[in-house]
A = this chain, B = another copy of it.
């Protein structure tokens, strides 16, 4: 099939399953809230992101779009997207230069609003094109890692515009990070390896929302789960959820599968690789390819080759093999199709509402790093319930009064 047709079909599939976004599109169709607004997007460029771009485009925006990770871009989707009239610059590649050139091309659009995933787009603008800051009203940031970076900028007083932390909004982290990462990580691992999860020991590094999702699904698939953590509170949560907790140095020898979701660097390194079982499978579901220290692997390995699509075998000096999935990049995006559509429907509806909020309020917004206003979370949740036909109870006046009463 032609690339463009393949991409178009993927986008249509997504469109058919993003009912909250479709609801919002319908709601705002006449209003055209983004008319003449320049929106620049840097989010993993597969069909779901593409459809967010299309919806913004249909609501009036001038949309420029690229990926947020060199290997997570799907080229057929890129081709299709061009036909929808968007300004697209993206390519699946191992060449970092191309990735950064695309970022810069997007910035040529002089964005008023940036939808970012990992903060590469926003931070590049601030660093390299300070003159463009004056056009910029605000940023919506999708993911934990980007939030961390923007918060750091904010603490150092270097943030020139407000950032809405999509990631820290309820309708994002409660669902995307947990259920999204949980399912899609295992999708990536299973389809890459065709190995059984049941009966295996899975080591999950990090027990934040993403780690909780990855561990929960590993258990649901029949694994015995070990969690590693640096935060004692999260460690106890993992224990109370029935998991073993230990240092990576100890866990290294037990794991059949390793998944890193910490947001930090060098979580699994040389000292750990050398303790692993023959055949251990390494994967990362955190934003950047820094959690499994691939450099160490490359350094110590006697040989390396691709043995299945997206699976590289490293032979270690001790004669054992370890398998690295997706080059240590986000396994759910590089070795699979990313989060389930309905999950991204929630996250991207927040992006749309966040962008709309910036457009309408940027003149009096303080420079800050905060989630979407709670009302937006509630609104998205109510629409979601509607789209799946669920009705819930409402507080009676008597119940409201009781809740506000201290007697």
Contacts from A to B (Cβ < 8 Å): 9-10, 12-13, 16-17, 119, 123, 148-150, 152-153, 156, 158, 170-171, 174-175, 178-180, 182-183, 187, 190-191, 194-199, 217, 219-224, 228-230, 232-233, 235-237, 239-248, 263-266, 279, 290, 307-308, 311, 321, 336-338, 340-343, 377-378, 381-382, 384-385, 388, 390-396, 398-399, 402-407
Bound: A392/B197 CA distance, A: 22
Q: Which of B187, B223, B399 contacts A265 (CB 8 A)?
A: B399
Whether the Cβ atoms of B175 and A240 lie closer than 8 Å is yes
Chain B CB within 10 Å, residue with most, of A175, A178, A239: A239
C-alpha spacing A235/B402, complex, angstroms: 21
Neighbouring B residues of A219 by C-beta, 8 Å: 220, 242
Q: A407 contacts which chain B residues (CB < 8 A)?
A: 123, 149
Contact of A342 among B152, B199, B337, B381 (CB under 8 A): B199
Q: How many copies does the complex hold?
A: 4
Let me know if B17 and A279 touch, CB within 8 A: yes
- Give the complex CA separation of A123 and B233 in angstroms: 32
- Given the interface contacts A266-B398, A405-B152, does A194 sit within 8 Å of B390 by beta carbon? no
A196 touches B243 (CB 8 A): no
Q: Could you jot down 17 A-B contacts, CB within 8 Å?
A: A13-B311, A148-B403, A152-B405, A174-B237, A178-B240, A183-B197, A194-B341, A199-B239, A199-B240, A219-B242, A228-B392, A230-B392, A235-B390, A246-B391, A247-B393, A248-B393, A264-B402
Q: Is the CB of B308 within 8 A of A13?
A: yes
Chain B residues within an 8 Å CB radius of A220: 217, 219-222
- Which residues of B are found within 8 Å of A388, using beta-carbon distances? 199, 239
A404: contacting residue among B10, B152, B235, CB under 8 A: B152
A124 CB to closest chain B CB (Å) equals: 11
* 10 closest Cβ pairs, A-B complex: A220-B220, A196-B340, A232-B381, A152-B406, A149-B406, A199-B240, A194-B337, A179-B198, A233-B381, A265-B402
**Given the complex of chains A and B, what is the CA–CA distance between A338 and B190 in angstroms?**
11
Complex Cα distance, B390 from A252, in Å, reads 16
Q: Please measure, in the bound complex, the distance between the C-alpha atom of A41 and the C-alpha atom of B217, giving whole angstroms.
A: 36
B contact residues around A183 at 8 Å (CB)? 190, 196-198, 221-222
State the CA gap A321–B384 with chains docked (Å).
Answer: 20
Which residues of chain B come closer than 8 Å to A341, judged between CB atoms? 194-196
